[in-house]
Amino acid sequence: MRSLIEQLRGEHAVILKKLDHLEHLAQRGEGIDEFLRFFDEYVAARHYTAEEQQLLPLLRGNPHLKEIVKRLQEEHELERRLVEHLRHSAKPAAILRLCMQNLRWHVIKENAIMLNSAEAALS
């Protein structure tokens, strides 16, 4: 379990670093395609999959973490919907900023709440 938590923390660091880069591009009106590729190939396909298939099922059984798990899963779904909206938006710059802001805060919450709680509960 510890290795999964370490893996997820490492992936969070990758996501935050990439968001820094993408935010610089967005300030110049660029980066939408790069964000979409990163979200599809790394965040959704790799990171969310690891959380949703490996970590969250373990945490759902803990009554103290049940609400946290539910909320973080809802945030995954919200981010997926925002990204779909970005794909079809006539004003993508504003939606891109919202997607990046939501993803950044989600990762920060997962680091501060979910992963720390998971370490305590599963150790």
Residue 123 has pLDDT above 80, yes or no: no
Percent of the chain past pLDDT 90, that is, above it, reads 79
Average pLDDT over residues 61-77: 90
Tell me how far apart the alpha carbons of residues 57 and 10 are, in angstroms, rounded to a whole number.
20
Report CA Rg, the chain.
15
Cα 2 from chain centre? 19
Q: What is the pLDDT of residue 64?
A: 84
The angle, 0 to 180 degrees and rounded to 10, between the axes of the packed helices 92-109 and 2-27 is: 150
- Mean predicted lDDT score pLDDT of the chain: 93
Q: What's the whole-model pTM score?
A: 0.93
Q: What is the pLDDT of residue 92?
A: 95
Average pLDDT over residues 36-46: 98
Confidence tier at 95 by pLDDT (50, 70, 90): very high
